[in-house]
Amino acid sequence: MKLFISYRRDDTRDLSALLSDRLRRRYGKANVFLDSASIGAGSEWRKLLITELHTCDVLIAVIGDDWLELRDDQGQRRIDNPEDEVRREIVTALDRGIPVVPLLAEGTKMPERESLPEPLRRLHERQWIEVRSDQYFDNDVNLLCNHIDVLRKSNRHLKMALAGTTAIVLVLVGTVIGLSFRRPHDTPQNSDQTANASSDPLPVSPTDVVRAQSEGSIVGLWEQRFFEAGRWNGGGIYEFYTDTLGQLQIRSVIAPSNSQSGTNNHNVALDGSKFKTEGEVLTWNADWGAYGIGSFRLEKKNANLYVGSAFEEDGTEYRKNEFHRVIE
């Protein structure tokens, strides 16, 4: 897993350096690229930067208060210049299908879509993460790492799916070639045999699963967020899937941490929950352990967001929740 940190020196130099240090501890020095720390004196910096950008697995776009509005000597926004290095880095990653994670400095708002140059407006569709300072910094970086680990897992599965699809294509091509060279007397003479062969179900391509997820199905990876201690906090990452009976299920991919909100909350893994759908509303039960059996009720806002609340066993609202799709 190779990470590329994109940032503006006049905006988030210190934060990016601190982030790089934490990420290098986890993923290794050679797997985290930050220009100020990774490019030595006398190196061809542009060539090295392009190489690292084209070979990275995830780009982290660090965005601070001045990221969007920093100006050049002519008073123009840097982001509006197609030659702006930060803009080029992010657009290149988006064009190449490299996952881009907007990382917001504490208190920074995600730039509005209309405020971004056209090539960068896709950035607004990416789920952002806020990194806070002081006692919350390590927890927020851990949440970022959780997302990165999910992306690593998803990329591995996608590569396996593409490999499987390629194998299917090669088999089909081989079959067509074989049929084109079949002698007339090789054709099956039994009409029943031909009918049975045509009635066999075709294998489902792995890409069909990916397509189904992209068309708005809840199946896939989601990050839970909950409102507690006066702010939104990161919960775990969960996968909605269908079992062998076609029933909707949920399982924990990355378990939530009780320390993420700075309070003694009681997150739980949601495995084994029972689901019920009413139009755009999804409800399910959850085992709160010593706190009893609770429930969730979420309403679909769009293909990538469900909002609602968690409730105690007696129906009292425990805390507000959101489930954000993990964009792969």
Query: How far is 6 from 90, CA to CA, in rounded Å?
Result: 8
CATH topology of domain 3-131: Rossmann fold (3.40.50)
Closest by CA position to 119, among listed 86, 144, 151? 86
Residue span(s) of the chain under CATH 3.40.50.10140 come to 3-131
User: Which of 49 and 306 is assigned the larger pLDDT?
Assistant: 306
Query: Can you tell me whether residue 26 is helix, strand or coil?
Result: helix
Region 5-12: mean pLDDT is 94
Q: How far is CA 103 from CA 54, 180, 235, 250, 317, in A?
A: 20, 55, 17, 27, 31
Neighbours of 72 (CB within 10 A): 11
* pLDDT of 256 above 80: no
Q: Number of helices and strands (H, E) in the chain?
A: 7, 13
Higher pLDDT, 109 or 48: 109
Contact 8, 108 (CB under 8 A): no
Among the residue ranges 77-81, 182-186, 244-248, the one predicted with the least confidence is: 182-186
The angle at the Cα of 325, spanning 121 to 26, to the nearest 5 degrees, equals 90
Q: Collapsing DSSP states into helix, strand and coil, what is residue 160?
A: helix
Which is higher by pLDDT, 326 or 186?
326
pLDDT band, very low/low/confident/very high, at 327 (cuts 50, 70, 90): low
pLDDT band at 31 (very low <50, low <70, confident <90, very high): very high
Percent of the chain with pLDDT over 90: 30
> How many C-alpha atoms does 236 have within 13 Å on its Cβ side?
19
State the DSSP string of 32-79. EE-HHHHS-TTS-HHHHHHHHHHH-SEEEEEE-TTTTT-B-TTS-BGG
Judged against a pLDDT cut of 50, whether residue 139 lies above it is answered with yes
**Distance between CA 246 and CA 229 in Å, rounded?**
38
Domain 220-325 has CATH 2.40.128: yes
Tell me which amino acid residue 126 is: R
Of residues 130, 138, 151, the one with CA closest to residue 58: 151
Residue 100 has pLDDT above 70, yes or no: yes
- What confidence tier does 302 reach under pLDDT thresholds 50, 70, 90? confident
Task: Look at residue 105 and tell me whether its pLDDT is greater than 70.
Answer: yes
More confident residue, 160 or 321: 321
Q: Over the chain, what is the mean pLDDT?
A: 74
pLDDT of residue 295: 84
Please report the pLDDT score of residue 203 as a whole number.
Answer: 33
For residues 175-197, give the mean pLDDT. Answer: 39
Instruction: In whole angstroms, give the CA distance from residue 264 to residue 156.
Output: 35
- pTM passes above 0.95: no
Which comes out higher in pLDDT, residue 34 or 217? 34
- Give pLDDT, residue 197: 34
pLDDT confidence of residue 79:
96
Is the pLDDT reported for residue 278 higher than 90?
no
Q: Within 13 Å and on the Cβ side, how many CA atoms surround 179? A: 7
Q: Among 49, 68, 67, which residue's Cα sits nearest to residue 59? A: 49
Structure tokens that stand for 295 in this block: 């429930």
Say if residues 307 and 284 touch (Cβ distance below 8 Å). no
Please report the pLDDT score of residue 17 as a whole number: 93
What is the reported pLDDT for 154? Answer: 63
Angle between helices 9-27 and 137-180 (to 10 degrees): 70
Which residues of the chain form CATH 2.40.128? 220-325
